[in-house]
Structure 1
Amino acid sequence: RLYAPDLPHLAQARFAVPLSAGGEGGAMLDQVIAWLTGDARHYSVALHGWTLTFDQLVILATPSGPNGISSLIQSLGRRLAARLQIGRVFAGRFRSTLVEPGAWVLPSLVWLETIPVRQGLAADAELWRWSSAPAHMGAAPAGALQDHMDYWRCGNTPFDRQANYRALVLEGLPGAKMAQIEQALYGQWALGGLAFVQGLAGISSRRPVAGKRGRPRKQPADRGRGADPHDSGASPI
């Protein structure tokens, strides 16, 4: 997993079988949120935002160690498997990306909290109670939410922060920005500018960006060898 200390991670886990949207659906989502917040405390994961829908869970969080989010997702999977009496809860492994503070935390938060709107589950983000959007907009208590500093910079008072953040959500993200978030999450590469990515080189658990495609360029000596059709590359006898 791509991990770096003291940085927010955007993580997405899709359910192999969507949770029921009727009757028991709301109660099940309530239970998953209760497990999420409790396990986040247990594994020392600071939750900055989350959205739970019938087909996926997306969180923005800062783990205290390299295995924090993995342990959190695994625990949720075990609990759901026992509750639903099924073997496979998630559709493959969860995806995650490192998020650059000061540039991509708020866009990532807007992106994840507006998932229910894009899915047609709610007319407004703050109306979907299985997410952190109501708390960020003043419609619900903060509860287990540990707001990132970027959210605090939205205003000097809770009312200012809620109003300014609501304006960001209503404005929405440009298509290019949404695509950049989704591409980083899908590829599990760092989400940020060049300086941010370069700064991860010595502290991240693996390479933070994709390598260049294609074969390495041949060196001059290699090109010379390739020009000789009689040279098979084998040692002379």
Structure 2
Amino acid sequence: MARQSRYNAPGYAQHIIQRGNNRQVCFFSDDDYRVYLARLKQYAQQHDVQVHAFVLMTNHVHLLITPQHENGISLLMQALGRFYVQYVNKTYGRTGTLWEGRYKATLVDNDYYALAVSRYIELNPVRALMVDHPAAYPWSSFHANALGKAIQLWQPHASYLALGSSEAERQQAYLNLFEQPFSDKALAEIRYASNKGWVLGSEHFKQQIAKQLSRPVSPRKTVQQDDD
């Protein structure tokens, strides 16, 4: 079966997942995380892509990003992936691939769903039982979104800006979201769309994108998947 092509819609956020090959480790030291984030910032600026949320896990990466032009995300991910593989191979005296094939990309509704995916991304270390709270994990955008830490590559999403009229109000409102557990339904919806590459959003949003891009945006019959 042919692979489904990615949705290309500038101005809409996308949830990106890139995993290590066979789920092998991709980050071996603190310097590796810093190098990856520095290059993410560089290539995001170069290709005019906004980074709203991220988490770097030991063997995979989640991003919530918005391209301003067609192919912005693919150009960003190609440049970043290529550089980081070369960096790891040179630094650790290894050869061969690092990433598991194509990165996964899911078009995300700019309203409620963008905040839900942002929270989903930043809760990854908690779900993985690495920390008790996202604030305890250093390699995520939670520190910018909820705590106001200056992270140069981060840019607030429109739905985040709508949380309040000041930085303090937005940070507190965002932090309050983490006091509410994800419902099983919401988790399943995000996971399924993310792993299958379907559009994530309201029915109205899906219809809008289907009409705009002239292609299906969801399967005929919903099947849920538990992969994180």
Q: Secondary structure at the match of 1:48?
A: strand
**Which amino acid is the alignment partner of residue 101 of structure 1?**
N
The residue that corresponds to 2:144 in the other structure is 135
Report the equivalent of 1:180. Answer: 189
Q: Are 2:71 and 1:79 aligned? A: no
Residue 111 of structure 1: which of 120, 135, 152 is its match? 120
| Equivalent residue letter for 1:192 | G
TM-score (norm 1): 0.83
Aligned partner (choices 59, 63, 66) of residue 59 of structure 1: 63
Equivalent residue, structure 1, for 2:13: 8
Superposed, which structure 2 residues align to 1:28-177 within 5 Å? 28-85=32-89, 86-177=95-186
Deviations 1:147-174 (A, max 9, x none): 1111111112111111111110232311
Change over 3 Å in CA distance of 1:201–1:139 after alignment to 2: closer
TM-score calculated relative to the size of structure 2? 0.86
Query: What is the match of residue 218 of structure 2?
Result: 209
Paired with 2:48 and 2:221, the residues of 1 have a C-alpha distance of: 36
Structure 1 counterpart of 2:226: none
Looking at structure 1, the residues matched to 12 and 26 of structure 2 have their Cα atoms a distance apart, in angstroms, of 31
Q: 2: CA distance between counterparts of 1:81 and 1:103?
A: 35
Instruction: Please give the alpha-carbon distance, in whole angstroms, between the structure 2 residues aligned to 1:20 and 1:98.
Output: 27
Deviations 1:100-119 (A, max 9, x none): 12220110000001111111
Contact 2:26/2:59, CA 8 A, preserved across alignment:
yes
Cα distance in 2 for partners of 1:170, 1:108 equals: 16
- In the alignment, the residues of structure 2 paired with residue 103 and residue 171 of structure 1 have an alpha-carbon distance, to the nearest angstrom, of 14
Shift of 1:128: 1.7
Q: How many equivalent pairs are there?
A: 210
- 1:104 alignment partner, SS class: helix
Gaps of 5+ in 1: 214-237
CA spacing shift, 1:18–1:209, aligned 2, 3 Å: same
Q: Is the 8 A contact 1:116 1:125 kept in 2?
A: yes
Shift of 1:205: 7.1
* Alpha-carbon contact 1:46-1:146 (below 8 Å) kept: yes
Q: In 2 relative to 1, CA 199–145 (structure 1 residues): closer, same or farther, beyond 3 Å?
A: same
| Mapping for residues 13-24 of structure 1, pairs under 5 Å | 13-16=18-21, 17-21=24-28
Matched letter for residue 38 of structure 2: A
For structure 2, the 5+ residue unaligned runs are: 1-5, 90-94, 223-228
Structure 1: distance between partners of 2:208 and 2:98: 36
Question: 1:190 Cα shift?
Answer: 0.6
What's the CA shift for 1:211?
Answer: 4.1
Name segments (4+ residues, structure 1) moved above 4 Å. none
CA RMSD of aligned residues (A): 1.7
Which of 22, 27, 34 does residue 31 from structure 2 map onto? Answer: 27
